[in-house]
Structure 1
Amino acid sequence: MMTRLLSKALAAGMLMVGGQALSAPPPAYRQEVVVAGSPFQGVHGLALDGKGHLLASNLLGQSVHSIDLSTGAVSTLVGPPLGGADDVALGPDGSIYWTGYFSGRLMRRTPDGKTRVLAKDLPGLNSLAFRRDGRLYFTQLGRGDALWEMDPNGRKPPRQLRTGLGFLNGFEFGTDDRLYGPLLLKGQIVRMDVDTGTTEVVAEGFGMPVAVNFDASRENLYVADSVRGELVRVRVATGAKEVVAKLPTGLDNLTVGPDDQVYVSNMVDNDIRVVTPADGSIRPVVEARLSVPSGLAVAPDDPSESLYVADVYALRRVGGRDGKIAQTTRVLSSRMTFPMNVSLGATHVVLSSAYLGSVQVLDRTSGEVLRTIPNTNGVQGVLELADGTLLLAEATTGRLVRVDTAEPAGTTVLTEGLKGPVGLVADTEAKEPGVYVTEVGSGQVTRVRLSDGARRPVAKGLKAPEGIARHPDGGLIVAEVGRKQLVRIDPATGRSTVIAKGLRIGLPESEGLPPGYVPTGVAVGGSGTLYLSSDIESAIYRFVPPPGSAQPK
Structure 2
Amino acid sequence: MHRFLCSCLFATMSLGCQSEEDPSVVYRKEVVVPGSPFQGVHGLAVDDHGRLLASNLLGQSVHSIDLSSGVVSTLVGPPLGGADDVAIGPDGSVYWTGYFSGRLMRHTRDGETRILAEDLPGLNSLAFRGDGRLYVTQVGRGDALWEVDPDGNEPPRQLLSDYGFLNGFEFGLDDRAYGPLMMAGQVVRLDVDAGEFEVVAEGFTMPTAVNFDTSHEHLYVVDAATGELVRVRVATGEKEVVANLPTGLDNLAIGPDDQVYVSNMVDNDIRVFNPADGSIRHVVEARLSVPSGLAVAPDDPEEHLYVADVYALRRVGGLDGTITETTRVLSTTMTFPMQVSLGARHVILSSAYLASVQVLDRASGEILRTIPNANGVQGALELADGTLLVAEASTGRLVLVDTAEPAGTTVLTEGLEGPVGLAPDTEVEEPGVYVTEVRSGRVSRVRLSDGAQHRVVSGLQAPEGIARHPDGGLIVAEVGGKRLMRIDPTSGKSTVIASELPIGLPESAGMPPGYLPTGVAVGASGTIYMSSDIESALYRFVPGN
Q: TM-score range by the shorter chain?
A: over 0.9
Pairwise CA distance, 1:510: 1.7
Selected match of 1:145 from 140, 143, 146: 143
- Name 1:485's counterpart in structure 2: 483
Per-residue CA deviations over 1:271-302 (Å, capped at 9, x if unaligned) read: 00000123321100000000000000000010
Change (3 A) 1:299 1:193: same
Alignment of 1:276-295 (within 5 A): 276-295=274-293
Question: Residue type matched to 1:459 in 2?
Answer: V
Q: Which amino acid counterpart does residue 513 of structure 2 have in structure 1? A: P
Q: Unaligned stretches of 5+ in structure 2?
A: 1-17
Counterparts of 2:527 and 2:193, CA distance in 1:
61
State the match for 1:7 in structure 2: none
2:153 to 152, 155, 158: 155
Match of 2:470 among 462, 469, 472: 472
What is the CA–CA distance in structure 1 between the aligned matches of 2:240 and 2:320, rounded to whole Å? 41
Q: Specify the code of the residue in structure 2 equivalent to 1:281.
A: S
Residue 131 of structure 2 is aligned to residue 133 of structure 1: yes
Residue in 2 that maps onto 1:538: 536
Structure 1, unmatched stretches of 5+, are 1-19
User: In structure 1, how many angstroms separate the alpha carbons of the residues matched to 2:114 and 2:22?
Assistant: 50
Q: What residue number does 2:370 align with?
A: 372
CA distance in 2, matches of 1:77, 1:24: 40
Q: 1:202 to 1:22 in 2, by over 3 A?
A: closer
- Residue matched to 1:399: 397
1:295-314 matches, cutoff 5 A: 295-314=293-312
Q: Render the CA deviation track for 1:378-406: whole Å, top value 9, x for unaligned.
A: 00000000111000000000000001111
Match of 1:350 in 2: 348
Which amino acid is 1:318 matched to?
V
Matched-pair identity in %: 79
Partner of 1:52: 50
**4+ runs deviating over 6 angstroms:** 20-23
Shift of 1:24: 4.5
Judging changes above 3 Å, is the alpha-carbon distance between structure 1 residues 484 and 26 closer, same or farther for their aligned structure 2 residues? farther
Distance 1:257 1:115 in 2: 26
Q: Which moved more, 1:54-63 or 1:405-414?
A: 405-414
Cα–Cα, structure 1 residues 426 and 215, in superposed 2: closer, same or farther, change >3 Å? same
Give 1:22 deviation, angstroms. 7.0
User: Cα–Cα, structure 1 residues 530 and 22, in superposed 2: closer, same or farther, change >3 Å?
Assistant: closer
Match of 2:451 in 1: 453
Question: Paired residue for 1:245, among 239, 243, 246?
Answer: 243
Give 2:440's aligned residue: 442
In structure 2, the residue corresponding to 1:43 is in which secondary structure?
coil
Instruction: Please give the secondary structure, in 1, of the residue aligned with 2:42.
Output: strand
CA contact (8 A) 1:46 1:57 kept: yes
After superposition, the C-alpha distances for 1:72-115 in whole angstroms (9 at most, x for unaligned) are 00000000000000000000000000000000100001100001
Alignment partner for residue 315 of structure 1, among 313, 316, 320?
A: 313
1:275 equivalenced with 2:276 (yes/no): no
Superposed CA deviations along residues 403-454 of structure 1, whole A, max 9, x for unmatched, are 1111111110000000000000000012211000000000000000000000
The within-5 A match list for 1:387-426 is 387-426=385-424
Equivalent position SS for 2:529:
strand
Partners of 1:501 and 1:308 lie apart in 2 by 24
2:22/2:497 contact within 8 Å kept: no
Q: 1:415 is aligned with what amino acid?
A: T
Offset from partner CA, 1:237-277 (integer Å, 9 cap, x none):
00000001000000000001111110000000000000012
SS in 2 for 1:482: helix
Query: Does the CA contact (< 8 Å) of 2:20 and 2:496 recur in 1?
Result: no
Note if 1:508 corresponds to 2:506.
yes
Change (3 A) 1:495 1:200: same
Letter of the aligned partner of 1:147 in structure 2?
A: L
Q: Which of 36, 39, 61 is the matching residue for 1:38?
A: 36
Measure, in 2, the Cα distance between the counterparts of 1:21 and 1:145. Answer: 49
CA offsets per residue over residues 290-347 of structure 1, 9 Å max, x none? 0000000000010000000000000000000000012320001111110000000001
Whether the aligned pair in 2 keeps the contact of 1:23 and 1:495 (CA below 8 Å) is: no
CA contact (8 A) 2:103 2:116 kept: yes
CA separation of 1:146/1:350 partners in 2, compared to 1, >3 Å: closer, same or farther? same
Asked whether the 8 Å contact 2:124–2:136 carries over to 1, the reply is yes
How far did 1:23 drift? Answer: 7.9
How many residues get paired? 528
Residues 328 and 367 in structure 1, CA contact (< 8 A), matched pair in contact too = no
Contact 1:26 1:498 in 2 (8 A): no
Give the aligned partner of residue 236 of structure 1: 234
Provide the rounded CA distance (Å) in 2 between the counterparts of 1:517 and 1:430. Answer: 32
Equivalent residue letter for 2:472: G
1:113 aligns with 2:131: no
Query: In structure 2, what is the Cα distance between the partners aligned to 1:326 and 1:113?
Result: 43
Q: Deviations over 1:340-368 (max 9, x none)?
A: 00000001100000000010000001000
Q: 2:19·2:496 contact (CA, 8 Å) conserved in 1?
A: no
Paired letter, 2:58 = L
Contact 1:314 1:327 in 2 (8 A): no
Kindly state the Cα deviation for residue 168 of structure 1 after the two structures are TM-superposed. 0.2
* Cα distance in 2, alignment partners of residues 502 and 245 from structure 1: 43
| Coordinate RMSD, CA, aligned | 1.0
CA separation in 1, counterparts of 2:223 and 2:367? Answer: 23
Query: In the alignment, what sits opposite 2:3?
Result: none
Q: Please give the alpha-carbon distance, in whole angstroms, between the structure 1 residues aligned to 2:24 and 2:196.
A: 69
Q: Aligned letter for 2:132? A: G
1:165-184 alignment, distance < 5 Å: 165-184=163-182
Cα distance in 2, alignment partners of residues 56 and 37 from structure 1 = 17
Counterparts in 2 of 1:22 and 1:273: CA distance versus 1, 3 Å = closer
- The answer on whether the counterparts of 1:245 and 1:277 sit within 8 Å (CA) in structure 2 is no
Q: Which has the higher contact order (CA 8 A, sep 6+)?
A: 2
Inter-partner Cα distance in structure 1 for 2:160 and 2:406: 36
Give the Cα separation in 1 of the matches to 2:165 and 2:55: 19
Supply the distance in 2 between the matched residues of 1:305 and 1:330 (Cα, whole angstroms): 22
Is the 8 Å Cα contact of residues 181 and 189 (structure 1) preserved in structure 2?
yes
TM-score by length of 1: 0.95
1:77 to 2:75 alignment:
yes
